[in-house]
Amino acid sequence: MRELENAVERAVVLCDEPKVGRRHLPQGIAPKPEMQGTPQIPGSSIDEIERYAILKTLEMCGGSTSKAAAVLGISSRKIQYKLHEYASAAEPNENDP
């Protein structure tokens, strides 16, 4: 995730056009042609984008946290922690009506 953030920040700073395009991103970061259908997420928080990235990568990796971690450049422990966090947030609170 940090690698992506750094690449986007660098592209924004160095881009001399009104919009940052695929060609402005490093080759390893630029989306592959088969990912062109990935939805745009304007106005989303970093947490929402991170969640989307983790869940979609897990889906692409058949649920393997170790493979998804390698793709995202984070530890599998971080993915497991985030999945637990997402599950906890989805559970209803006993104090809620």
The third-level CATH classification (topology) of the domain covering 43-97 is: Arc Repressor Mutant, subunit A (1.10.10)
Backbone torsions φ then ψ of 17, nearest 5 degrees: -120, 165
Give residues with Cβ within 8 angstroms of 12, minimum separation 6.
20
pLDDT at 37: 45
Share the mean pLDDT of the chain: 78
* Helices and strands, counts by H and E, the chain: 4, 0
Cα separation, 88 vs 83, whole angstroms: 9
Q: pTM for the full model?
A: 0.54
CATH 1.10.10.60 intervals, the chain:
43-97
Average pLDDT over every residue of 20-27: 71
